[in-house]
Amino acid sequence: MIEGEYESLKAMYAVSPGFIPEPYGWGHYSQDGKECYFLLEEFRLVGEQPPDPLRFTAKLAQLHKRSISPTGKFGFHTTTCHGKVPQMTDQWSDSWSEVYQKHLGYMVKQDQEQNGLWPEFKVLCDITLEHVIPRLLEPLQSDGRSIKPCLVHGDLWDENTATDMRTGEPFIFDPGSLWAHNEYETGNWRAVRHRLSNKSYVRGYKSHFPASEPGKHPVH
């Protein structure tokens, strides 16, 4: 978990240093016979959360646009975590649909291993993984369309964003990154429990990074 966050911060800091705290290092130590791990990064004084929508979304879109995948593919070079939960980020593929399918499928597998089989839920998960994801995501890279692998924070919700009290500028932290379709980043914002669900954030982001085509899919 610590190594994944460090690698995420390092990758994002290389693209947008002012928008990300500088990571200094990570490692492990023993305390009372227990293995412990640490992450050392630049201190930022947290202010308003989430930040001003116009300035925040402009910097986020800039991070996405400036980033260039080292392989030209979707994925990441190491495992990152969503909170404490490991993600299947350590994969590379030209297909965003394939990466996302494996990524979500790994989460479903972990849920079943920890909480047991829920037959009705498994049916819905299988349908989502085998049919819904390809149906929605494959058109982004078909019929001459393409999408750029963008470096995303990976867990961007209200409490992982803030205004720096010293500079007044927005910044983000506590990532679990991967190279993804840029709209993966704003998925969390659809949940009404998040203040980022306010339409001003989505509207502000799209003003800098318009939605990918096709915007809507025909119903069959």
pLDDT in tens, 148-159: 999 999 999 999
DSSP H stretches of helix in 67-198? 96-115, 119-127, 133-137
**Does residue 145 form part of some domain?**
yes
pTM reported for the whole predicted model = 0.93
Instruction: Count the neighbouring beta carbons within 10 Å of the beta carbon of residue 81.
Output: 19
Q: Does an H or E element contain 28, and which?
A: strand 23-31
Q: Label residues 57-72 b or e (16+ Cβ within 10 Å = b).
A: bbbbbebbeebebeee
The whole-number pLDDT of residue 216 equals 60
Q: How confident is the model at residue 96, as a pLDDT?
A: 98
Contact 154, 175 (CB under 8 A): yes
Q: Are 27 and 37 in contact (CB under 8 A)?
A: yes
Domain CATH code at residue 114: 3.90.1200.10
Counting residues of the chain whose pLDDT is more than 70, the rounded percentage is 98
Average pLDDT over residues 22-45: 95
Q: Is 61 a domain residue?
A: yes
pLDDT above 90: residue 7: yes
How many separate domains does the chain show?
A: 1
Does 155 map to a domain? yes
Q: Does residue 105 lie in a domain region?
A: yes
| Residue 65 resides in a domain | yes
Residue span of the structural domain in which 130 resides: 45-208
**Per-residue confidence (pLDDT) for residue 11, from 0 to 100:** 98
Report the distance separating Cα 129 and Cα 57, nearest Å: 30
What share of the chain in percent tops pLDDT 90?
95
Kindly tell me the burial class for residue 79, based on how many C-beta atoms sit within 10 Å of its own C-beta (0-12, 13-18, 19 or more). Answer: middle
